[in-house]
Amino acid sequence: MAPTQRILVWDIPTRVFHWSLAVSFATSWLTSESERLAAIHVTSGYILLGLIAFRLAWGFIGSRYARFSEFVRGPAAVIDYAKSLLAGRPRHFIGHNPAGAVAIVLLLVLGLATGATGYAMYNELGGEWLEEVHEACANAMLAVVVIHVLGVIASSLLHKENLVRAMITGRKDGTADVGIQRGNGFFALLLAGAVAAFGWSSLQDAAKAAPAKSGHEKKHEGKKHEGKKHDD
């Protein structure tokens, strides 16, 4: 058997995507109740949407373990994996395991749905129901995030493999033949640059557009989303 060494598994765009997604989700969540922080909420929501659009493309053109063909599997594979878990001998995967992949697909779908309904709401394309759907999607996404993080911790313990560190460094222990060859730093730089440029210009625009708020207006701050229309 070939010797085990540190091999590259996650390319740089996948890692930049992951941590940017986690930050944009947390930012959107934490600012969702505040009228004063609405510009930040909307900006981080757009960034989340853009990141997912990037990830959908990267799932087809990215490196081996980033590709959907490598980790999106049918129900039979998920059941097999669950059985190996229950038997106390979970199968090891260098990339995403089939159960983790279900959470990942759900996060991408719910992220798209939350972002799209947020966009529609912000542009007044629907009624009250849109706000309900937006909140329901965001809540469902939070639930999946919690399951995702618990799954990552459980899987790290079961396999005695630090998955969080792997999502930071891109590296795991494995044989050289299963590692990826290149980090694809150029695409990561493009992604990080696009996120930074969009975030910066969007917040600058919001700062320019915001009229100096009077004490009367401030009293009305803090009600979720409603005030966006008042600010226009």
Per-position x/- string for 26-45, each x denoting binding to ligand HEM as judged by CB under 6 A, each - no binding: --------------------
167 contacts ligand HEM (rule: CB under 6 A): yes
Structure tokens at 188: 């990561």
Judged by beta carbon, residue 35 or residue 104, the one nearer ligand HEM is 104
- Distance from chain centroid for Cα 159: 24
Q: In whole angstroms, how far apart are CA 193 and each of 51, 138, 185, 186?
A: 12, 26, 12, 10
Q: In whole angstroms, how far apart are CA 143 and each of 16, 99, 183, 191, 211?
A: 23, 15, 31, 27, 37
How far is the C-alpha of 117 from the C-alpha of 132, rounded, in Å?
10
Q: Identify the three-state secondary structure at position 4.
A: strand
Site for ligand HEM, residues 198 to 227, rule: CB under 6 A? none
Judged by beta carbon, residue 143 or residue 209, the one nearer ligand HEM is 143
145 contacts ligand HEM (rule: CB under 6 A): yes
63 contacts ligand HEM (rule: CB under 6 A): no
- Any idea of the CA torsion for 174, 177, 179, 182, to the nearest 10 degrees? 150
Q: Out of 130, 136, 152, 206, which residue is the one contacting ligand HEM (CB under 6 A)?
A: 152
Q: Out of 28, 39, 40, 55, which residue is the one contacting ligand HEM (CB under 6 A)?
A: 55
163 contacts ligand HEM (rule: CB under 6 A): yes
8 contacts ligand HEM (rule: CB under 6 A): no
Structure tokens at 5: 């060494």
One-letter identity of residue 70:
E
134 contacts ligand HEM (rule: CB under 6 A): no
Q: What angle do CA 62, 175, 184 make, to 5 degrees?
A: 25
Site for ligand HEM, residues 84 to 113, rule: CB under 6 A? 96, 100, 104, 107-108
Binding site for ligand HEM (CB under 6 A): 14, 17-18, 21-22, 25, 55, 66, 96, 100, 104, 107-108, 145, 148-149, 152, 163-164, 167
